[in-house]
Structure 1
Amino acid sequence: MGWLWAIIVGFVLGIIAKAVIPGKQHSPLWLTTICGILGAIVGNAVARAAGVEATPGIDWSRHIFQLVAAIIIVGVVDMLYMATLGKHKRERQRA
């Protein structure tokens, strides 16, 4: 059941990250979900290092770390995705 929650949280974080980043992101939904999952993992590690691993009630600070990590990861991966996609389009036009 843990993998299902990871996918759900990754999907939500990825969608929120895409909404926060200005401009249009071209990465597909599956890649956004993977980036959201990675953002949750990195955010948890940063929260643990900052000493806010678990707090009573809702862990708002941990969620903020997760969201910031997801925004950074989605932005970087989208730039890499577009660079790779653009390279493939140029190669197709030459052929």
Structure 2
Amino acid sequence: MSWLWMFVVGLLVGIVAKFLMPGKDPGGFIVTGLLGIGGMFVGGWLSGLLFGTGTIGGQIQPAGFIGGVIGAMILLALYRMFIRKKA
């Protein structure tokens, strides 16, 4: 059940990140959900670097909603650069 919940929250984070960074993106809701989940972990990692939080026992913990959106926006920008260079 926690995987399903993480995907739903990741999907919401990914949707907000795509809304804040308008433009044409390849991929559907699965890619959006994966970007959101990845963004939550990138946000947790950045939180650990900047504020000394985000890790428990050396493992990166997911960030909150705002940190997840920031992380998802970073991943979305990287995703767009990679896809455009490939195409």
Decide: shared fold, TM above 0.5.
yes
**Structure with a larger share of its residues in strand:** 2
Q: What corresponds to 1:7 in structure 2? A: 7
Q: What corresponds to 1:69 in structure 2? A: 71
Q: Which has the larger radius of gyration?
A: 1
Could you report, residue by residue, the CA deviation over 1:47-92 in whole angstroms, capped at 9, with x for unpaired residues?
A: 2441455xxxxxxx843222111011012113323433x2xxxxxx
Q: What corresponds to 1:43 in structure 2? A: 43
Question: Could you say what the CA RMSD is over the residues aligned between the two structures, in angstroms?
Answer: 2.2
Q: Secondary structure at the match of 1:39?
A: helix
TM-score (norm 1): 0.65
Supply the distance in 2 between the matched residues of 1:21 and 1:13 (Cα, whole angstroms): 12
Supply the distance in 1 between the matched residues of 2:26 and 2:84 (Cα, whole angstroms): 7
- Which structure 2 segments of 5+ residues have no match? 55-62
- Which structure 1 segments of 5+ residues have no match? 54-60, 87-95
Q: Which amino acid aligns with 1:37?
A: I
Q: What corresponds to 1:58 in structure 2? A: none
Aligned residues: 78
